[in-house]
């Protein structure tokens, strides 16, 4: 699609180009170095969301992308704008989320000169390259359409890691010139039919087949379910893959891969089909487990296919297409797996629950109350906090793109802005944030954005007035707990200062009622949960 750039600057033409690629939302903060990015925004149909910090912009774009499957787009400024957004971009890189960051940088003549200019960095692009799959600079207006196409094509065809494009301030002001157009994007690799046939033969002969579904399989519900049912195979998901198959499906164990008992169970599989997961340390929470069975691995990333768990059959392809091909070839075949997966799963869940420590036992009824109170289709954005770690395993999810957790990079402050981005991207779905009192304060100002936009998000905060998980870790390692308690603000008053709802339920019944009210509100509601509430039952 050709873009009319007559009389437009490069910055204005960029807005038209993004519209041509169906970008409907940009998260960003205008500043003296990037105002030229904003010159054409008012004349477009793109929605701009103003966060309170660039970290919030990045997490909002991440939440938007995970909820919708579309790229999240951010505008930021030179220097501190980039360094502020690098934390969420690192999270998106780790979790394979398509986020496009477009930043200003110094004028061409000032790049690398170390002349003491405002917002100057020694090499801004190199800094961005540490947390992105692509980091490029547009040194002329004609470079911009090509770089945007490369970024979006990478999202569409390869493992979707963030992309970064920086544009010098003087280039943004230059006449756009001719030749601007949106371009056809590359498509994902299709599976080699020979590899599919080899995988089918292994699966048909398997006596104890199992599936592992990761974040790369989020759009594969139908095919993955048919394969599991054809084989009578137990399904495990990573945290990123929660909801690929509904967690109340009789063959889905859920996201229990960090449990030692699950490791033992996986070791019993004679054939393991792994789709869309690199099987990382943060999937198992130990460096390596034993997987003696034959592995069939499906992934877009060749490095994942050749990683620490080598595959008997390696299929570099789009997971949905590859699983559809497997499902079609397995259709009609008799299930031949030995034993009763449902019975093994029930026994494992019971053993895990019987061995829970006190924090897990205390949080289980809280998490169960939240699950009962939230509609089945609710999308939940979570943080790196004790209640979320328990909920990763205990909170069942019934459809994909419903559980947003900062798995790999593991940053605090993710939940609230990610929930805002998710609600903007999927306004028809209920959205909640689940976080702790300390991590909440990393990005607490973004509550103001949710209030400003009148987003009815229940903000579910577990307040134990400490870094509870870190305190427990110190104690387990024989370290005297240090720097794990702090003075918190009055969160109820803080929420009310923005005109948000604020509740502090006295018991679990009141918690359920508060959640139901929050979903019907015309603004966010902070729901402060405490151990006293949990103990009151």
Give 255-301 pLDDT, tens digit per residue: 999 999 999 999 999 999 999 999 988 888 888 898 999 999 999 99
Task: Supply the pLDDT for residue 358.
Answer: 85
Query: At 11, is the pLDDT very low, low, confident or very high (cuts 50, 70, 90)?
Result: very high
Which is nearest to 284 in space by CA: 267, 260, 309? 260
Task: Supply the pLDDT for residue 142.
Answer: 96
Which is nearest to 197 in space by CA: 12, 285, 329? 329
Task: Supply the pLDDT for residue 4.
Answer: 86
Query: At 150, is the pLDDT very low, low, confident or very high (cuts 50, 70, 90)?
Result: very high
Q: Which residues of 186-218 are buried (b: 16+ CB within 10 A; e: fewer)?
A: eebbebbeebbeebbebbbebebbbbbbbbbbb
Structure tokens at 328: 């079609």
Task: Supply the pLDDT for residue 466.
Answer: 87
* Confidence check: pLDDT of 152 > 70: yes
pTM: 0.95
* Full 3-state SS string of 461-523: EECCCECHHHHHHHHHCCCCCCCCECCCCCHHHHHHHCCCEEECCCCHHHHHHHHHHHHCCCC
Task: Supply the pLDDT for residue 7.
Answer: 87
Give 497-524 pLDDT, tens digit per residue: 999 999 999 999 999 999 999 999 999 9
Task: Supply the pLDDT for residue 338.
Answer: 63
- Alpha carbon distance 444, 459 (integer Å): 11
User: Residue 275: how many CB atoms within 10 A of its CB?
Assistant: 27
Task: Supply the pLDDT for residue 335.
Answer: 60
Task: Supply the pLDDT for residue 106.
Answer: 92
- Alpha carbon distance 34, 106 (integer Å): 10
* Confidence check: pLDDT of 112 > 90: no
Structure tokens at 108: 């061409």
Task: Supply the pLDDT for residue 117.
Answer: 82
Altogether, the residues listed in the chain come to a count of 537
Task: Supply the pLDDT for residue 336.
Answer: 60
Fold assignment, 10-173? Rossmann fold (3.40.50)
The mean pLDDT of the chain is: 94
Better-scored residue on pLDDT, 218 or 360: 218
Task: Supply the pLDDT for residue 406.
Answer: 96
Q: Which CATH architecture has domain 356-536?
A: 3-Layer(aba) Sandwich (3.40)
Angle among Cα 131, 132, 138 to the nearest 5 degrees reads 125
Task: Supply the pLDDT for residue 6.
Answer: 87
Q: Where in the chain is the domain with CATH 3.40.50.970?
A: 10-173, 356-536
* Confidence check: pLDDT of 75 > 90: yes
Fold assignment, 193-347? Rossmann fold (3.40.50)
| Paired sense of beta strands 379-382 and 431-436, if any | parallel
User: If 0-12 CB within 10 Å is exposed, 13-18 middle and 19+ buried, where does residue 112 land?
Assistant: exposed
- Contacts of residue 53, defined as CB under 8 A and 6 or more positions apart, other chains included, come to 29, 84, 443, 445, 446
307 with 286: CB under 8 angstroms?
A: no
- Fill in the DSSP letter of residue 108: G
DSSP per position, 8-28: -BHHHHHHHHHHHTT--EEEE
DSSP per position, 37-78: GGTTTTTSS-EEE--SSHHHHHHHHHHHHHHHSSPEEEEE-T
Overall average pLDDT of the 56-75 stretch: 98
Overall average pLDDT of the 356-376 stretch: 94
Task: Supply the pLDDT for residue 321.
Answer: 97
Query: At 116, is the pLDDT very low, low, confident or very high (cuts 50, 70, 90)?
Result: confident
413: left (phi over 0), alpha (psi -120 to 50) or beta: left
Query: At 10, is the pLDDT very low, low, confident or very high (cuts 50, 70, 90)?
Result: very high
User: If 0-12 CB within 10 Å is exposed, 13-18 middle and 19+ buried, where does residue 478 land?
Assistant: exposed
- Alpha carbon distance 112, 423 (integer Å): 40
Rounded to 10 degrees, the C-alpha dihedral 130/133/138/142 comes to 180
Task: Supply the pLDDT for residue 337.
Answer: 62
Q: Which residues of 452-471 are buried (b: 16+ CB within 10 A; e: fewer)?
A: ebebbbbbbbbbbebbbbbb
Which is nearest to 360 in space by CA: 253, 468, 269, 263? 468
Query: At 110, is the pLDDT very low, low, confident or very high (cuts 50, 70, 90)?
Result: confident
* Confidence check: pLDDT of 334 > 90: no
Query: At 5, is the pLDDT very low, low, confident or very high (cuts 50, 70, 90)?
Result: confident
- Alpha helices by DSSP H, 207-340: 221-231, 260-266, 281-284, 302-305, 319-330
Task: Supply the pLDDT for residue 333.
Answer: 65
First to last CA, the chain: 60
User: Residue 7: how many CB atoms within 10 A of its CB?
Assistant: 8
Q: Where in the chain is the domain with CATH 3.40.50.1220?
A: 193-347
Tell me what percent of the residues of the chain surpass a pLDDT of 70: 99
């Amino acid at each position: 699609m050709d873009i009319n750039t007559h009389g437009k600057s490069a910055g204005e033409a960029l807005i038209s180009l993004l519209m041509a690629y169906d970008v409907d939302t940009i998260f960003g903060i205008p500043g003296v170095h990037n105002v030229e990015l904003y010159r054409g925004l008012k004349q477009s149909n793109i929605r701009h969301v103003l966060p309170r910090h660039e970290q919030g912009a990045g997490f909002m774009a991440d939440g938007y992308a995970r909820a919708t499957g579309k790229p999240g787009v951010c505008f930021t400024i030179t220097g501190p704008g980039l360094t502020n957004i690098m934390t969420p971009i690192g999270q998106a890189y780790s979790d394979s989320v398509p986020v496009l960051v477009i930043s200003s940088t110094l004028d061409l003549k000032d790049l690398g000169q170390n002349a003491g200019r405002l917002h100057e960095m020694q090499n801004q692009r190199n800094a961005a390259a540490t947390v992105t799959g692509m980091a490029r600079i547009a040194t002329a207006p004609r470079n911009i359409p090509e770089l945007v196409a490369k970024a979006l094509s990478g999202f569409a065809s390869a493992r979707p890691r963030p992309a970064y494009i920086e544009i010098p301030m003087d280039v943004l002001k230059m006449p756009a010139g001719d030749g601007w157009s949106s371009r056809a994007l590359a498509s994902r690799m299709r599976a080699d039919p020979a590899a599919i046939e080899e995988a089918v033969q292994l699966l048909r002969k398997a006596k104890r087949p199992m599936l592992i579904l990761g974040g790369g399989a989020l759009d594969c519900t139908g095919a993955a379910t048919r394969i599991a049912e054809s084989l009578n195979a137990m399904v495990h998901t990573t945290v990123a893959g929660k909801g690929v198959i509904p967690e109340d499906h009789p063959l889905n164990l859920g996201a229990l891969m960090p449990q030692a008992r699950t490791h033992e169970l996986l070791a019993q599989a004679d054939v393991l089909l792994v789709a869309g997961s690199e099987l990382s340390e943060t999937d198992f929470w130990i460096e390596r487990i034993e997987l003696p069975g034959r592995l069939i691995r499906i992934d877009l990333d060749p490095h994942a296919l050749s990683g620490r768990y080598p595959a008997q059959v390696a299929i570099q392809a789009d997971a949905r297409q590859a699983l559809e091909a497997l499902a079609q070839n397995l259709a009609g075949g008799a299930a031949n797996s030995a034993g009763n997966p449902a019975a093994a799963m029930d026994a494992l869940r019971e053993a895990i629950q019987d061995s829970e420590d006190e924090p897990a036992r205390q949080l289980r009824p809280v998490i169960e109350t939240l699950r009962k109170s939230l509609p089945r289709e609710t999308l939940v954005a979570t943080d790196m906090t004790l209640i979320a770690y328990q909920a990763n395993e205990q909170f069942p999810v019934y459809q994909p793109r419903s559980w947003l957790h900062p798995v790999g990079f593991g940053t605090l402050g993710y939940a609230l802005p990610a929930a805002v981005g998710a609600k903007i991207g999927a306004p028809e779905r209920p959205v909640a944030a689940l976080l702790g009192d300390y991590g909440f304060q990393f990005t607490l100002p973004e509550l103001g954005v949710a209030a400003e936009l009148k987003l009815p998000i229940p903000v579910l905060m577990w307040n134990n007035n400490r870094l509870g998980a870190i305190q427990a870790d110190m104690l387990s390692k024989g370290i005297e707990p240090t720097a794990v308690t702090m003075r918190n603000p009055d969160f109820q008053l803080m929420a009310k200062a923005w005109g948000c709802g604020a509740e502090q339920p006295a018991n679990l019944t009141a918690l359920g009622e508060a959640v139901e009210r929050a979903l019907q509100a015309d603004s966010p509601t902070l729901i402060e949960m405490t151990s006293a509430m949990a103990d009151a039952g």
